[in-house]
């Protein structure tokens, strides 16, 4: 019986994906070495692309932490396991899970690895995989993304703009069932202990 194509959804505007440019599709197909159902889309179109394949036993998602967070929520609800290709800029989650940065190795792990549960976080209706930020940092990222410049360079004017217009927000948190009021320019919510060492893996290395 012919092998069913493996669904692969990639945010082509992610840092590593964008750096591959016109070579992205060929590199991905060569890395898998098997038939894949490849969708290369821009960030805002990722949820729609995932809607086409949600429900499959395993869906491979390529992108950075933001892409993976939104994908994880959709796929978990559909009962699909998510495999990761580290194609974003910093790829924190992939690094924390021990997923190789080499694309061919990550693709092999996505195909042959075994699944392991990890926790998802939620702020309001938004699902995230490692952390979520509200306030100052989120505004910095929005300003940075609006600039037609590399991220490392766009960080400078974006940070200057945000600090010049610094404002605090009043928020109500519920921690262990107790309500708490806070006034702060930045709220950071973590889903794990933030560290540089890898302590767990979503997909273990195949034998």
Residue 201 binned pLDDT confidence (cut-offs 50, 70, 90):
very low
Q: Tell me the range of 98-107, 113-122, 125-134, 149-158 where mean pLDDT is highest.
A: 98-107
At residue 203, does pLDDT exceed 60?
Answer: no
Q: Minimal CA–CA distance to 66: which of 141, 177, 6?
A: 141
Residues 6+ apart with CB under 8 A from 206: 108, 109, 112, 113, 114
Q: Minimal CA–CA distance to 109: which of 97, 121, 100?
A: 100
Name the DSSP letter for residue 9: E
At residue 95, does pLDDT exceed 80?
Answer: yes
CA dist., res. 30 & res. 35, Å (int) = 10
pLDDT tens digit sequence for 61-73: 999 988 998 899 9
Residue 1 binned pLDDT confidence (cut-offs 50, 70, 90):
low
Q: What is the pLDDT of residue 196?
A: 47
At residue 197, does pLDDT exceed 50?
Answer: no
**Three-class SS state of 8:** strand
Please provide the average confidence, as pLDDT, over all residues in the chain. 86
What's the whole-number mean pLDDT along residues 112-120? 88
Residue 2 binned pLDDT confidence (cut-offs 50, 70, 90):
low
Asked whether the beta carbons of 43 and 78 are under 8 A apart, the reply is no
Q: What is the pLDDT of residue 45?
A: 95
Between vectors from CA 123 to CA 117 and to CA 128, what angle results, nearest 5°?
A: 40
At residue 116, does pLDDT exceed 80?
Answer: yes
pLDDT tens digit sequence for 14-43: 889 999 999 999 999 999 989 999 999 999
Q: 101-136 burial by CB neighbour count: b if 16+ within 10 A, else e?
A: eebeebbbbbbebeeeebeebeeeeebbbbbbbbbb
pLDDT tens digit sequence for 175-192: 778 888 999 998 887 776
What are the domain boundaries of the chain?
A: 6-129, 131-190
pTM: 0.76
Query: Which one has a higher pLDDT value, 190 or 115?
Result: 115
CA dist., res. 111 & res. 127, Å (int) = 25
List, as own/partner pairs, every contact residues 47-56 make where C-beta atoms lie below 8 angstroms and the sequence separation is at least 24, other chains included: 47/74, 49/9, 50/9, 50/74, 50/75, 52/7, 53/7, 53/9, 53/80, 54/78, 54/80, 55/79, 55/80, 56/7, 56/80
Q: What is the pLDDT of residue 191?
A: 72
6-129 carries CATH number 2.30.40.10: no
């Amino acid at each position: 019986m012919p092998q069913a194509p493996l669904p692969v959804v990639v945010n082509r505007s992610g840092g590593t994906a964008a750096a591959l440019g016109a070579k992205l599709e060929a590199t991905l197909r060569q890395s898998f070495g098997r038939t894949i159902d490849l969708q290369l889309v821009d960030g805002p179109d990722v949820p729609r692309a995932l809607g086409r394949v949600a429900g499959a036993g395993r869906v491979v998602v390529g992108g950075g932490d933001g892409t993976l967070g939104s994908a994880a929520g959709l796929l978990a609800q559909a009962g699909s396991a998510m495999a990761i290709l580290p194609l974003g800029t910093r790829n924190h989650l992939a690094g924390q899970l021990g997923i190789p940065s080499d694309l061919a190795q990550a693709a092999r792990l996505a195909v042959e690895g075994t699944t392991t549960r990890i926790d998802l976080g939620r702020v309001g209706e938004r699902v995230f995989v490692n952390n979520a930020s509200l306030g100052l940092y989120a505004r910095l990222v929005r300003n940075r993304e609006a600039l037609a410049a590399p991220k490392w360079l766009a960080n400078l004017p974006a940070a200057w703009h945000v600090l010049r217009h610094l404002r605090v927000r009043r928020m109500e948190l519920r921690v262990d069932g107790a309500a708490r009021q806070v006034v702060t320019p930045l709220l950071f919510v973590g889903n794990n202990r933030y560290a540089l060492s890898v302590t767990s893996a979503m997909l273990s290395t195949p034998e």
